[in-house]
Amino acid sequence: MFDFKCHIFFPRLLKIILSLFSMKRNVFFAAFFVIIALLSCRNNDEPIQQIDQIVHLYIDSLGQDMLNKKIAGSYISVSLNDVDGLTDNAPVTYLMKKDADTVDYIQYIAGAKRILTDSIDANHKTYRSRIALKMILKVNATTQSTTNDTLILNYQYTPEYFRVSSALYNNKPVFTKAEGQPNIIKIHK
């Protein structure tokens, strides 16, 4: 990484950018470069906060991958909704993925609102997200069964890290963070 002083470099860079984009139609591009330059100026003495919030959610029933639509008896549809969202219908973005053993899982990165639940001080906070899972199972050609479950993710915030600390599935503990391990939640129905 370059080691330079922003208070010296930034005014010069700003002058160069503004002179290059002096025409009115290029104001957007000039603003874009100014923002990039501002973001690149950070003090190297500041610690970098580690973010660990990606969750892999596996669901099986008697060893059957319930998230693989191609397997008979598995869910044909899965949707996630933010319980604490601004509206009743607040979809949460997720990805359906396969692991090395070709088992399907839900990868949740972020999107549900985080509610502050505890604040010891400005440097130690606990947040919670609640996600409603709606899963549809095809019983036969004309009948479907809907399962509604709730995933609660608890997060810890400190200046050093922001991470998932624990999880509850239908109010039962299913995950506690182990240092250095991925956030894998396995649900057995």
Q: In whole numbers, what is the pLDDT of the chain averaged over residues?
A: 85
Whether 16 and 79 share a structural domain: no
pLDDT at residue 1, rounded to an integer: 40
Query: Does 133 lie in the same domain as 99?
Result: yes
Q: Which domain holds residue 33?
A: 6-40
Number of domains in the chain: 2
Same domain, 27 and 57: no
**DSSP secondary structure string, the chain?**
-----HHHHHHHHHHHHHHHT-SGGGHHHHHHHHHHHHHH---TTSPPPEEE--EEEEEEETTEETT-TTSTTSEEEEEEEETTSSSS--B---EEEE-TT--EEEEE-S-SPPEEEEEEETTEEEEEEEEEEEEEEE-SSS-EEEEEEEEEEEEEE-SSEEEEEEEEETTEEEEE--TTS-EEEEEE-
What pLDDT does 22 receive? 56
Residue range 20-34: average pLDDT? Answer: 58
Q: Are 143 and 179 in a shared domain?
A: yes
Regarding whether 77 and 19 lie in a shared domain, the answer is: no
Looking at residue 53, its pLDDT comes to 95
Same domain as 109, residue 21: no
Q: Kindly state whether residues 161 and 180 are assigned to the same domain.
A: yes
User: pLDDT by residue (tens digit) across 35-59?
Assistant: 666 666 656 666 788 999 999 999 9
Residue 1 is assigned to a structural domain of this protein: no
Same-domain pairing of 100 and 34: no
